[in-house]
Chains A and B, each alone.
Chain A
């Protein structure tokens, strides 16, 4: 058994970015098959245009169309591409100063080996056939063979009329998530139908889940304590609102449940009773999912339901609010 429980997780969202007028102008150009730079107060043509001038700090307002052919000023080999890079096979990233620009623009360079690249070589933009106003409207740079006529690649597809004002940029990251050793104890217990806490050796409080450091003292919780499956609702809210990812139809109750023997409440669902009948102090017990659905999660407990016992006296839980 590994020390900690681990599992993969993907954190992904398609970000909707508003570009503002300057980056929007650059992306509108790409959509139309032209590369647009911005002129700075010192006269340089910068691609992509800077949103604000580095000297005067004023917004860039002068735009210049530059060539789609240019010169490699630096490059690097990418032997093991990572997800979402322009190629999924080895390629080069290159800084290319397009004719008419004063500074280079980074993009991929389509070559089969590092032997095919050198600083100073001439390259041109290879356009995507369907362009939306995105940096990937440029597929990559491609080398111009020595002696080859310096003709820009044909721009297929159509131009647009409306300026580009937004761009969607998906961000998807894969992680290996690990629980702490103390949390791992807790989740492993749940996989066996047990609710495991730990006692802080300094303040003697029983924590569920156990903690790598007791937040009061900074000492790891240590002594294992199996907790009761019965507890008291300290406080709660009635969820009436639907939201993204919701699994239960509203209204329902999300409550803090203080298990007997624990010194901290856990947040869980109260079901098996109309939402408007849930009370502070109500005594509840864990209702587990069928055993074959158990995993390493507090979700093994489907919800808490009233025991039918008399409510706990306010004084017994008021210091847990």
Chain B
């Protein structure tokens, strides 16, 4: 028995902000859930199972918060799962939720991912001092900045490519009412003029710290029949490797390459650049756009930046990337991956509003986590998969 068809018929998200002081954790999640259910034309009582995802529990200071949230999320009396795979968790959670339908075990699954970063300080939570261990000298972006430098050295990319990405995503975010940052007038020049934080990463090339949630309703073929615009799941992949290993490629990690290759195969895609109409790629620092374009196989190694520099990743380009504004414009960590997956679904459902890519039929949702060692991705399509 193969996978049962599964489709996303509801997508909901919160207005992402630095501090959502108007809501509790349950209220934040319900804001996304209620929107997803309304989109799906279902109620909580129609839901068979709930899958919750979020990043480290130290962020909110609650151990396994899905337990106290169970009642408010409508999970009481239902199966409840909690996924945690670092920054990729939003994507992994959506994949676990879809597998419940694809396995034929459930018909209507609700999944929600969230982060309420304002309850603490992510920088603290991620680097709690441990005895013997040397404290991190570099801060939040310091982990990734050396790998960006390696990418620039390897690819020979001009140093303004990161700024092109940042300006594009910030302008895309102006078309997304849910985005955290609505920075009018961002240009390549203004990004280049922003403070250099972790050379080679500038302030405007980094993601914000957000409170937010995202929810999806994923259903079986029969339930999807009642939806005017289901987003069908054409492929899902998760791959992991080690955080640190001898001679590990940290610019173009093997786990990401392997995941992409498996994903395109599952989805029957032989030329992703030609066949994918929109991509939501996890880009917390601008330079990760060209890096992941290569890792995902949209371009040969060393040439991702050329696609970006040519403007082909803009809304009207060959491969629109992060039309929602992406992680660079909203980063509720645990939900960021699910936002990518959800935004991909919105595109193929023709429901992305002002940031809709005309005629998008197949889209990629991508998430990664840790030190670029956890990957989760899916391809969704407007058409039901044939195989």
Contacts and interface: CB of A to CB of B under 8 A. Distances in A.
A254 interface: yes
Interface string B114-138: 0010111101110111111111111
B245 interface: yes
Nearest to B252: A321
B149 interface: yes
Interface in B39-55: 43-45
A73 interface: no
A216 B245 contact: yes
Interface residues of B, number: 69
A299 B134 contact: yes
Interface stretch (A76-84, A108-116, A240-248): A240-248
A106 to B, nearest CB: 13
A255 B149 CA distance: 11
A11 interface: yes
Contacts of B245: 214-216, 264
Contacts of B241: 215
B138 A237 contact: yes
A237 B142 contact: yes
B275 interface: no
Given A20-B24, A235-B149, A321 B119 contact: no
Contacts of B274: none
A257 B135 CA distance: 16
Given A20-B26, A23-B24, A216-B246, A52 B72 contact: yes
Contact of A235 (B45, B150, B195): B150
B153 interface: yes
B250 interface: yes
A63 interface: no
A177 B130 contact: yes
Contact of B76 (A54, A203, A241): A54
B91 to A, nearest CB: 22
A187 B132 contact: yes
A243 B20 CA distance: 23
Nearest to A281: B153
Contacts, number: 189
Interface in B42-96: 43-45, 58, 60-61, 71-72, 74, 76
B145 interface: yes
Interface string A172-186: 000001010001000
A205 B61 contact: no
Contacts of B201: 237
Nearest to B37: A57
Contacts of A59: 27, 30
A301 B251 CA distance: 28
A291 interface: no
B350 interface: no
Contact of A215 (B43, B124, B242): B242
Contacts of A247: 135, 137
Contact of B120 (A15, A254, A318): A15
B198 interface: yes
Interface stretch (A96-104, A122-130, A163-171): A163-171
Given A237-B145, A263-B246, A321-B147, A7 B44 contact: no
Contacts of B128: 9, 11
Interface in A1-58: 5-9, 11, 13, 15-23, 50-52, 54, 57
A119 interface: no
B244 interface: yes
A243 B24 contact: no
Contact of B198 (A8, A54, A238, A280): A238
A205 B246 contact: yes
Nearest to B60: A15
Most chain B CB within 10 A, of A9, A187, A254, A321, is at A321
B132 A297 contact: yes
A50 B71 CA distance: 9
B312 interface: no
B368 to A, nearest CB: 17
B174 to A, nearest CB: 26
A320 interface: yes
A283 B44 CA distance: 62
A156 interface: no
B177 interface: no
A298 interface: yes
B200 interface: yes
Contacts of A7: 131-132
Nearest to B145: A237
Interface string A221-257: 0000000000000111111110111111001101110
Nearest to B150: A321
Contacts of A248: 137
Contacts of A54: 71, 76
Contacts of A298: 133-134
Interface of A: 5-9, 11, 13, 15-23, 50-52, 54, 57, 59, 165-166, 169, 171, 177, 179, 183, 187, 200, 203, 205-207, 214-216, 234-241, 243-248, 251-252, 254-256, 263-264, 267-269, 275, 280, 296-299, 314, 318-321
14 contacts: A11-B128, A15-B60, A15-B61, A16-B119, A18-B23, A18-B24, A20-B27, A57-B44, A177-B132, A203-B246, A216-B242, A237-B200, A256-B146, A264-B247
Given A51-B26, A207-B246, 9 more contacts: A7-B132, A13-B125, A235-B147, A238-B199, A239-B198, A241-B141, A243-B139, A255-B146, A264-B245
